[in-house]
Amino acid sequence: GDSVTQMEGPVTLSEEAFLTINCTYTATGYPSLFWYVQYPGEGLQLLLKATKADDKGSNKGFEATYRKETTSFHLEKGSVQVSDSAVYFCALSPYNTDKLIFGTGTRLQVFP
C-alpha cells in the first residue's frame, strides 16, 4: 500500500543553520505531496504542497520539490529560527482521493 518514510528525529540545530528533513514515498499513480507542521499543543497546519512531478512547494522560507524519479519530497530551509521548532509531517494523498497518509513526523529543535 501507499506509505511515507521520514527521517527520524529529533533534528537539533542552531539558529540560522540549514535544514533538511528527508521524505520518501511509495505510491501507485500520481499522489499529491504535503508537508504539515505541528507546533506544541496545536493541531496540524499545512506548510506547503506539490501536486505533480517537478512542482516546488514553498512557504515561510521552507521549500520542497516533488521528485518522481527518486520518489522524494525533502523539506529544506536555508536559515532556521527558534520559532520553527515543531514536529514536521510529510504526507501524501493518493491519486483522486482526499485522505492523507502521514509519515511518522520529525521533531525539529532550534536553539539560539
Partner 1 sequence: DTAVSQTPKYLVTQMGNDKSIKCEQNLGHDTMYWYKQDSKKFLKIMFSYNNKELIINETVPNRFSPKSPDKAHLNLHINSLELGDSAVYFCASSRTGANTEAFFGQGTRLTVV
Q: At its nearest, how many Å lie between partner 1 and the CB of residue 52?
A: 9
Confirm or reject binding of residue 87 to partner 1 (CB under 8 A).
yes
Which positions ≥6 away from 106 have C-beta within 8 Å?
A: 6, 7, 8, 9, 10, 11, 21, 87, 88, 89
Closer residue to partner 1, CB minimum distance, 7 or 87: 87
Identified binder of partner 1 from the candidate list 51, 79, 81, 83, rule CB under 8 A? 51
- Residue 46: what residue type? L
Structural contact between residues 15 and 41, judged by C-beta atoms closer than 8 angstroms = no
- Scanning 16-24, 59-67, 72-80, 104-112 for contacts with partner 1 by CB under 8 A, the matching segment is 104-112
Per the DSSP assignment, residues forming a β-bridge with 35 are 48, 90
- Using CB under 8 A, list all residues that contact partner 1: 32, 36, 41-46, 49, 51, 87, 89, 93, 95-102, 104-105, 107
